């Protein structure tokens, strides 16, 4: 048995890394005759670890990243067999998946353990992504072995050579809330780890349509938005509102193309086939402060198109944690009071929040945004093109003016 394992672990050189050169090994903890300790009435730890690991294995493959597993089936591996696989894999990074357990039933949250020879950057990034996905954070830590100075306490950290290993404990099987969270969200948690690794190795990940961030720059022009709207037989009012979406996208930093897509879904391209009517200028199905049902009167009414679009952006501001623009509608404060307010990052996460449908966000991306992004614009009429550019320029100029005003106001407040 070779005990002389290299123990000095270097942080991966982030600048040079791309998926082609990086290899990941995923380790589903326990297996076979060893069920693990994180069991409850819903699962055995070894099975949940394997489910999460297989998900990640497929996702890394999809992303074009070289990936391997220590086990793909329910088999037992000794410490030596397991760590030998990791050491011999040629991987730079190992993710060891586990579920925690404690006598104290109130103990809950995610724990990520990194080697004492790393600074915990990778573990920290994974924790951040998990929290974004609604997991409860407990701690990121490393632990020295009490009887082996200079060695890691946990064998997956200690015996995996120069492979940078993090042990991810997704929560406590002994805790009711953690168990529910893991049952409901294990795919999202598994995905969060993939995201954290990609961020660490500087691998382009955001392009994945399932991980589209709400904050960012619009990927389409005003002309493209309007062409897309016309292709979908939108009303003139809806087509006209595109200008306002560009404007408030610039002011808030929220993607105008995403919110315009959402509005396409919510209003049926301005045709309003539900209880909200066109004259209400409500582009996103925003409700009043205390709705009693799902009638027209339960929805917010905005004075103008500009106010309505501003309301849409302001509402999203409460979700993603950005300051709203101008006076806000009542429902904004209701969102602000919720536990996840300001923490929503991805369009996908709007599901079950903006609307009860868990696929709401995914539908915005798949059924609307993707089609908007793929709309081709034919610039055969240069006069129209010129006029549109002029219009877009004017909208941007107005946005800049408003931003300046805002800044001046802030400066004034600061002086007082
Ligand atoms: Zn375990």
Residues with CB under 5 A from ligand 1 (ion): 29, 36, 98
Tell me the per-residue pLDDT of 125-164, one tens digit each, with 9 for 90 and over: 999 889 878 889 999 999 999 999 999 999 999 999 999 9
Residue 209's pLDDT band (boundaries 50, 70, 90)? low
**3-class DSSP state of 153:** coil
What average pLDDT does this structure show over 193-206? 86
Structure tokens at 335: 């969102």
Q: In 3-state terms, the chain is what percent helix, strand and coil (to 5)?
A: 45, 10, 40
Tell me the per-residue pLDDT of 357-383, one tens digit each, with 9 for 90 and over: 877 988 899 899 999 999 987 666 677
Distance 81 CA to ligand 1 centre (A): 16
Distance 23 CA to ligand 1 centre (A): 23
Distance 39 CA to ligand 1 centre (A): 9
Distance 169 CA to ligand 1 centre (A): 8
What are the extents of the domains in the chain? 19-200, 222-414
Model pLDDT, residue 205: 74
DSSP labels, 27-66: EE--BTTB--S---SS--HHHHHHHHHHHHHHHHHHTT-E
Residue 308's pLDDT band (boundaries 50, 70, 90)? very high
Model pLDDT, residue 211: 74
Distance CA 303, CA 280 (A): 7
Tell me the per-residue pLDDT of 319-328, one tens digit each, with 9 for 90 and over: 999 999 999 9
Distance 97 CA to ligand 1 centre (A): 7
Distance CA 373, CA 219 (A): 7
Distance 167 CA to ligand 1 centre (A): 9
Of 379 and 400, the structure prediction assigns the larger pLDDT to 400
**Where is 140: in which H helix or E strand?**
strand 137-141
Distance 100 CA to ligand 1 centre (A): 6
Distance 30 CA to ligand 1 centre (A): 6
Model pLDDT, residue 9: 44
Distance 383 CA to ligand 1 centre (A): 66
**Looking at the domain 19-200, which fold is it?**
Aminopeptidase (3.40.630)
Please say if the pLDDT value at position 384 is more than 80. no
Distance 103 CA to ligand 1 centre (A): 15
């Amino acid at each position: 048995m070779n005990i002389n394992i290299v123990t000095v672990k270097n942080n991966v050189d982030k600048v040079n890394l791309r998926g082609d050169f990086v290899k990941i090994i995923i380790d589903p903890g326990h297996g076979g005759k060893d069920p693990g300790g994180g069991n409850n009435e819903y699962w055995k730890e070894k099975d949940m670890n394997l489910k999460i690991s297989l998900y990640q294995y497929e996702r890394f493959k999809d992303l074009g990243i070289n990936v391997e597993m220590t086990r793909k089936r329910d088999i037992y591996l000794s410490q030596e067999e397991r760590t030998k696989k990791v050491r011999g894999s040629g991987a730079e990074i190992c993710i060891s998946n586990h579920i925690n357990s404690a006598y104290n039933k109130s103990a809950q949250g995610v724990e990520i353990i990194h080697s004492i020879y790393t600074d915990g950057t990778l573990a920290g990034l994974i924790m951040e992504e998990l929290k974004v996905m609604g997991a409860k954070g407990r701690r990121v830590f490393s632990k020295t072995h009490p009887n082996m100075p200079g060695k890691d306490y946990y064998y997956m950290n200690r015996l995996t050579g120069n492979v940078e290993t993090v042990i991810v404990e997704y929560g406590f099987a002994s805790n009711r809330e953690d168990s529910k969270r893991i049952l409901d969200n294990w795919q999202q948690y598994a995905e969060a780890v993939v995201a954290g690794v990609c961020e660490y190795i500087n691998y382009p990940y955001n392009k994945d349509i399932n991980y589209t961030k709400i904050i960012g720059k619009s990927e389409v022009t005003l002309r493209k938005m309007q062409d897309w709207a016309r292709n979908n037989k939108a009303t003139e009012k809806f087509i006209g509102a595109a200008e306002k979406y560009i404007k408030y996208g610039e002011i808030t930093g929220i993607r105008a193309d995403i919110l315009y897509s959402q509005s396409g879904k919510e209003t049926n391209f301005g045709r309003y086939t539900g209880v909200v009517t066109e004259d209400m200028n409500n582009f996103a199905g925003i409700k009043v402060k205390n709705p009693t049902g799902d009638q027209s009167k339960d929805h917010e009414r905005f004075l103008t198109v500009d106010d309505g679009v501003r309301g849409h952006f302001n509402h999203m501001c409460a979700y993603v944690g950005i300051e709203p623009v101008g006076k806000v509608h009542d429902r904004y404060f209701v969102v602000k009071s919720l536990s996840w307010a300001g923490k929503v990052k991805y369009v996908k996460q709007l599901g079950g929040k903006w609307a009860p449908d868990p696929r709401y966000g995914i539908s915005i991306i798949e059924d609307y945004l993707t089609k908007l992004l793929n709309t081709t614009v034919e610039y055969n009429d240069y006069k129209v093109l010129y006029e549109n550019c002029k219009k877009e320029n004017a909208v941007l100029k107005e946005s800049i003016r408003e931003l300046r005003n805002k800044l001046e106001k802030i400066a004034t407040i600061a002086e007082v």
